Structure 1
Amino acid sequence: MKRQLRLPLTFIALLVLGMILTSMTASAAAYGFQSQKIDAIREYQNKKPLKNKVIVVDPGHGGSDAGAIGPNNVAEKNVTLAIARDLRELLSAGGATVIMTRTSDRDVAIDGSSDIDELQARVDIANQANADLFVSIHTDAFAEHGTGTTTYFCPGSNSDLARFVQDNMVSQLKLYDRGSQPSDFYVLKNTNMPAILTEAAFISNPKEEKLLINRDFNKKVAMGIYNGIKQYFIQ
């Protein structure tokens, strides 16, 4: 007859306690992992500084209006649309709802509409959306040797947005800083929200025209505007 193995009660109690502690440790680890996931989600949400903001992005000109034409026949309307698309991606990633006045090479009102009707159509889009910001994107044209970056705002309005965007664009582009300046551009004085009009560079300047058709440069313009908008909302 085989001898039966008898375990002391103390050993059995320690074995059961060990199993309980192991289970508790696993549960705690799982809870800790879940907590880390929740913290990560909250951190990700906090990184969306433009959440619940509605921003209208207006690529200047388009359709029947080519805007300024550079010495090498680069049309302003194409440059502004490229920059606006890059800006839309950044703003959307930052949590904003982005409304584009145009997403292709077309008139915003109707084909061949007057300048005033065209500008009013852009203003109407922003006002009807009750947007938080209106950003119109342009390139400058003056003399062949005109150079630099400018941001305009409506006289008498808060200039913070224009100043932040201007500073951040200059930081990105490294072009001559023409400053943030008041102007009575139609789209600035007729929108119901803070509005700016940016002139990234001079399309009439052969060197800057070449920059304006460079995709990396376009992305830097968009990043400068985006960083300025972020700074405006978190100031």
Structure 2
Amino acid sequence: MAMRWITVWMLILFTGALVLAGQPLIDAGAATPPPPLAGDLLRGRTIIIDPGHGGYDPGSRGRQAIEAEVNLAIALKLKTWFQMAGAHVLMTWSKPSDIPSHRKYRVQSRLEWINRQPADVLIDIHCNSGASSYKGPQTFYWDGAASYHLATAVQEELQYFTGTVRGVKRIDQYVLRYAKMPAINVEVGFITNPREEQRLLNPTYQEDLTWYIFIGTERWMVRGRWPESLLKSPPPVDLLRRD
């Protein structure tokens, strides 16, 4: 379902780009190019994924889940989607032994490493915490149009997938504030909500969730090619078909 939707979305944008550029939709004598597939715009891009916490800083805890472990599991699945699309993926850590249990990976050190990489985008993965009734993923950014539009595209996909009414929010988080590339923090759900905790521990749910983060990131790559006037306009929702 998701693959079919993104193909339709990309075809609409491809056609719209031609119209904006004043190009004919059909070039007589030339073969009609196939519509782009999911992931096409990510090929060759460099993506940094930062699973939050690690080592003796486990993050929040649910009844069973430890945030750092959930963050890493979800980050690895997100990495797989990007790699399948031909992107180069860097991770701040990719296995528990990268951050020994007696050591805390200081955020400042993590950020210094991030900013040394020639990356196109940074995606932080965290779990949220709060009252047991709180639920739903939410995407945060700090500043800049690029980070805002990236957060918006990802959150719209997560809203479609989970039905959450949570919207994009601005947050003064150290990594987001000082990252030298467009950066977002995806709080994938509330680990303190028992039902959502079980979903976050489910590998199938993790895979589905990361698909929509991946698709949102590619939508942002498309929007990055649009003129500023079009960026400020609402997306053509009436033209989109999800089936």
**TM-score, with structure 2 as normaliser:** 0.72
2: CA distance between counterparts of 1:109 and 1:57?
Answer: 19
1:194-205 → structure 2 map (5 Å cutoff): 194-205=182-193
Percent sequence identity over aligned pairs: 32
Aligned to 1:63: 55
Alignment of 1:15-54 (within 5 A): 48-54=40-46
Specify the alignment match of 2:197 in structure 1.
Answer: 209
Q: How many residues align?
A: 190
Letter of the 1:163 partner, please give it: T
User: What is aligned with 2:70?
Assistant: 79
Distance 2:123 2:209 in 1: 13
Specify the SS of the correspondent of 1:49.
helix
Q: Any unmatched runs of 5+ in structure 1?
A: 1-38
**Aligned match of 1:166:** 155
Name the larger-Rg structure.
1
Give secondary structure in 2 for the equivalent of 1:179: coil
Secondary structure in 1 matching 2:209: helix
Partner of 2:113: 125
Instruction: For 1:142 and 1:119, locate their aligned partners in 2 and report how far apart those are by CA, in whole Å.
Output: 22
- Counterpart AA for 1:168: E
8 Å Cα contact 2:56/2:101 also seen in 1: no
Matched, 1:228 2:216: yes
Give the aligned partner of residue 88 of structure 1.
79
Query: Which residue pairs with 1:99 in the alignment?
Result: 90
| Alignment RMSD (CA, Å) | 2.4
> Residue 178 of structure 1 aligns to a residue in which SS?
coil
Q: How far 1:200 sits from its partner (Å)?
A: 1.2
CA distance in 1, matches of 2:86, 2:200: 27
Q: Look up the match of 2:229.
A: none
Report the alpha carbon displacement of residue 73 of structure 1 after superposing the two structures with TM.
2.6
- Where do 5+ consecutive residues of structure 2 fail to align? 1-30, 224-243
Cα pair 1:109 1:118 within 8 Å, conserved = no
**AA paired with 2:161?**
Q
Partners of 2:211 and 2:196 in 1: CA distance:
18
TM superposition shift of 1:172: 2.1
Amino acid at match of 1:73: Q
Tell me how far apart the structure 2 counterparts of residues 106 and 166 of structure 1 sit (CA, whole Å).
31
**Partner amino acid, structure 2, of 1:162:** A
Q: Deviations over 1:173-226 (max 9, x none)?
A: 33x221111111011001000000011110001110111101111012211110
8 Å contact kept, 1:49–1:95? no
Q: CA deviation at 1:143?
A: 1.0
